[in-house]
Structure 1
Amino acid sequence: MSHPAPSILITGGASGLGRALAEAAAKRGYRVAIADTHSVRCEEVCRMLADLQVEHLHLACDVRRDGDVRQAVDRVVRRWGELDVLVSNAGIASAGLFETLAEGDWQAQIDTNLLGTVRACRAAVSAMKRQGKGHIINIAAMTALAPAPGMSSYSATQAAIVALSESLHSELAPLGIRVSVACPSFFRSNLTESLRSPDPVSRVRFEHLLDQHGYTAGEVAARIFRGIDAGDFLILPQPGLKHLWRRKRWRPRHALRAMLPLAEKIRR
């Protein structure tokens, strides 16, 4: 008796890393549900998934709304019987000197990045607890583990996602639910579209960070799936990130000193 293909729900699945993860999942035989607010891009991804001849769903979902997220999970379960994998990927970026960031910039980061992840995990746990199994993969960023100057609000929410994932990893294990967190560094993507920045200079610097890294979203997505297949909790999908993470953990004073030249540069 053949088993049905596993199901996966990806928030922020209409573009960037989310779209690349959707394509990678489809090629691995998943039934793919993408949840996003951008209807036109969702339709484009659905056409791509149709070309790959995989079952798919398009779910209009704003992770800032708990009802949207719960409805997305419920639709996946009604359609395919269960939710095997959640990838909480939706997020926005922020850059700028700390004293120039308004409270609204912080609130936007917290509501979308951190609480959006919380809402997605909460909805997934409700379904996976009934199933007695499942896998949650939260997407953070390398700034969670090695924060950079000029990105305080973004780094803070990314670090919170890692801490949340660490807590859930042990808390949900008795329920048969696995938890992982992926922390990619910068790569070429459309992340600047969601960038909140109080000044054009910070925006240009952020765009340069994305452009100067040679990895594509597709390459990062493939490496994330390799980490998922290997059962890794912390997935660092680009070369050099493990070294950077270990240096920060083992030689924190040295790592902090290494950031001073960049801080002086952005203060000029």
Structure 2
Amino acid sequence: MTSDGLRILVTGAASGLGAALSDAFAADGATVLRTDLAADLDADLDGGDSTGVRRLDITSEEDWSATAEHVRRTWGGLDVLVNNAGIAGGGRIELCDLDEWHRLIDVNLLGVVRGTRAFLPTLKERPGARVVNVASLAGLVHPAGMGAYNAVKAAVVAFTETTGHELASSGGTAHAVCPSYFRTNLTESLRSGDPAVAAVMRRLVDDSPVSAAEIAAAVLAGLAAGEELIVPDAAARAAWDLKRTDRPAYDQMMRAQARKLEERL
């Protein structure tokens, strides 16, 4: 897929992977609407520009409806919806309370659902339209200490597959992006009742050799290749391949990691 001439909306575009994806799509010739909850993105899109910004709270159906109407009025339609916005979370099962579960579900899963519901009628009018949902390696590989996050990201992967089936008759596709840890500001949103897990997550993000720009480039390459499951970095591919090809070794590794966490209780 080349992005040239496409109309693309990206959520969570003020920083991190959302910003990197927006930059990559724009550099590839797309018209990009960057949306985010950040107050400094509270500007209307100028239809003559290659990029625009708009404030969007992905937990608000009203915001999504208004944004869908704005896009239809300004652009006449949409070619690619990128549900990227999300928050970090984690904690061992007994240390992750239900408030944290509700927070992760509302943002990371229902944010994707709301956006897809708002734009699917428009996308079905455009043969070749795409929905791109940024999930996580946690949607495929499920380590200890991440029960809520794993479950929510796995749900995003499942929802993306269903979306693809429903878009197929109109010529559209859906794509789940499942990266491992990469350098971003995602952990700024981390709230956890499990300090051990929080410390591990922050270290893995901060020490990752992979940048958001590298993940964005891999996403565009995956879209160009037509991959409906995009596993964009070497660490993620290695973990996913291990689970699929040698389940006993995968389980042994995951349970060893779980024991290390227990030692920190």
TM-score of the aligned structures, taking structure 1 as reference length: 0.90
Q: Is the 1:84–1:135 contact (alpha carbons within 8 Å) kept by the matching residues of 2?
A: yes
Unaligned runs of 5+ in 2: none
The residue that corresponds to 1:82 in the other structure is 77
Q: Secondary structure at the match of 1:241?
A: helix
Cα separation, 1, equivalents of 2:76 and 2:149: 36
Q: Secondary structure at the match of 2:169?
A: helix
1:107 equivalent to 2:102? Answer yes
Cα separation, 2, equivalents of 1:177 and 1:157: 24
Partner deviation per Cα, 1:12-46 (whole Å, 9 max, x = no partner): 11111001101111100111101111123x38xx9
The residue that corresponds to 2:183 in the other structure is 188
The residue that corresponds to 2:139 in the other structure is 144
The residue that corresponds to 2:26 in the other structure is 26
Displacement after TM superposition at 1:188 (Å):
0.6
The residue that corresponds to 1:236 in the other structure is 231
Displacement after TM superposition at 1:129 (Å):
2.0
Cα separation, 2, equivalents of 1:24 and 1:256: 37
Cα separation, 2, equivalents of 1:179 and 1:65: 23
Unaligned runs of 5+ in 1: none
The residue that corresponds to 1:119 in the other structure is 114
Q: Secondary structure at the match of 2:123?
A: helix
Cα separation, 2, equivalents of 1:201 and 1:250: 30
Query: How do 1:164-203 residues align onto structure 2 when only pairs under 5 Å count?
Result: 164-203=159-198
Q: Is the 1:29–1:54 contact (alpha carbons within 8 Å) kept by the matching residues of 2?
A: no
Partner deviation per Cα, 1:126-184 (whole Å, 9 max, x = no partner): 21123344110000000111111111111110000111111222221002221111101
Number of paired residues?
258
Which deviates the most, 215-224 or 118-127? 118-127
Displacement after TM superposition at 1:107 (Å):
0.4
Q: Secondary structure at the match of 2:9?
A: strand
What CA RMSD, in Å, does the superposition of the two structures yield over aligned residues?
2.0
Cα separation, 2, equivalents of 1:74 and 1:229: 28
Q: Is the 1:12–1:90 contact (alpha carbons within 8 Å) kept by the matching residues of 2?
A: yes
Cα separation, 1, equivalents of 2:232 and 2:213: 11
Look up the equivalent residue of 1:30 and give its one-letter code. Answer: A
Cα separation, 1, equivalents of 2:68 and 2:9: 8
Displacement after TM superposition at 1:66 (Å):
1.2
Look up the equivalent residue of 1:19 and give its one-letter code. Answer: A
Identity of aligned residues (%): 37
Q: Secondary structure at the match of 2:144?
A: coil
